Chain A
Amino acid sequence: MSGFIICFLIGLGGSLVYLLRRKKSVKEISLFVTFSLLGFIVWLSIFLGYKVSPDRFFGWIIDSIGL
């Protein structure tokens, strides 16, 4: 897991430097960081064993509604 975290931080840092040098808009950079962090959180939850399946979540909602 530590290897993944290190690789992710290096990749994110490198990409941020590139984006800032290319003078990309703040919106674009923030969207890039948001989606990168979302991916990071999803993978972290997999490594830590806290798997939350989106299918099961929506299944639970459908069952709760009674459909």
Chain B
Amino acid sequence: MENARISGWQFFLLSLNFIVGTAFFVRPGSIIAVSKQDGWIVPLIAGIFAVLIACLWLTLASRNPGLSIVQICTKVAGKYFGGFIALLYIWFFIQLAGWVTRNLGDFMKTILMPRTPISVFHLMFLIVVCYAVIKGVETIARTIEFLAPLVVLIVVVIYLFTLSEWKWERFEPMFQVSTWQLIKDSLPVIGFPYMEAVTLMMLVPYVKSRVKTGLLLGITVATLLISGIVFVTIGVLGVTRTSHFAYPLYIIVQELQIAEFIEHVESTIVIVWLIWIFIKLCISYHCAVTGICQLFRVSDRTWIAIPLVLFISGIAILTHENIVDNIAVDTRYIFQYTSLYGIVLPVLLLFLTWIRRFRKGESGGSA
């Protein structure tokens, strides 16, 4: 295993940026289309469930200290069954990297460069990410530490400048959706982005201290940011307009006018999103490579990382036909699918850990 160490602060930044990553741009449109004026409550509900699920992951990690989720699989479930579960997780990390890559491609092709083939964006970005992954988790963490202030600054400035377009009437009628309906609407949001954060359990062994604080605080701040952007989007664009856009935040920034002569500052928000995509892709790619190295006991990750560029770029093309197909799959299946990795398998692993401990204690007692 890589001999890297990251601080609690770096792990917090990794968690925050991983969760916010693509969701910040992709989620507001779909949330507002479903829950209308009450959409900003949906991420808050999803965030509460996410914290509970994260407690399950942290319990699993504390019962198996110093091990990543792939190592826990083989330790508690045995070589063959555990190996199979570990392979499922590795596949999930690869698929996640494919989704993130495709999100980038869809955005660049539909909004910025419609005449460029989508695979060009995928390959160019994946080559850079592959290099970062080969350099290791410390490099990725330091990059995030360096880029996070820039991203936060741009987002805060945009939040502030959009206030001139704000109208409270756009929130009327408020609280029309029942609590049960809001919980049902929050299920896809729990699936993406929160349950995807199980990926971070691959990084836990590298964290020096404050793992719990880093993850739980990361989820909480990400929840507030996503809820905040949904709130701003409703207040600035309104429900009807937002429901028609795939990337409402981009439209908000595109229409932004500062001091009547600074216009079209959308490139700034594109930079923010590219940084977030880079971070999320780095983490999921790194976890896939580390998972493979840990499962097959390979020390050098370079020659595992390189062929994954070809594989992930292919998966990104195959994953869905277009944005509409992506939204349909996301609404219908994402919660059920990610539940397997975020809830079902961790519960199974925790159960197997307890059985193992119980057996060990029993054999120790009888001896």
Contacts and interface: CB of A to CB of B under 8 A. Distances in A.
Contact of A53 (B306, B311, B318, B337): B318
Contacts of B336: 62, 67
Interface in A17-67: 19, 24-25, 27-29, 31-32, 35-36, 38-40, 42-43, 45-46, 51-56, 58-59, 62, 67
Interface residues of B, number: 28
Contacts of A43: 310, 313-314
Interface size grouping (class) on chain A: 20 to 34
Contacts, number: 81
B48 interface: no
Contacts of A67: 336
B95 A54 contact: yes
Which 5 pairs of residues, A with B, have the shortest CB-CB distance? A39-B310, A42-B314, A35-B307, A39-B311, A36-B307
Interface of B: 95, 98, 292, 296-298, 300, 303-304, 306-311, 313-315, 317-321, 329, 332-333, 336-337
Interface of A: 8, 15, 19, 24-25, 27-29, 31-32, 35-36, 38-40, 42-43, 45-46, 51-56, 58-59, 62, 67
Given A25-B298, A31-B298, 18 more contacts: A8-B310, A24-B303, A27-B298, A39-B310, A40-B310, A42-B311, A42-B314, A43-B313, A51-B318, A54-B315, A54-B318, A55-B329, A55-B333, A58-B333, A59-B332, A59-B337, A62-B337, A67-B336
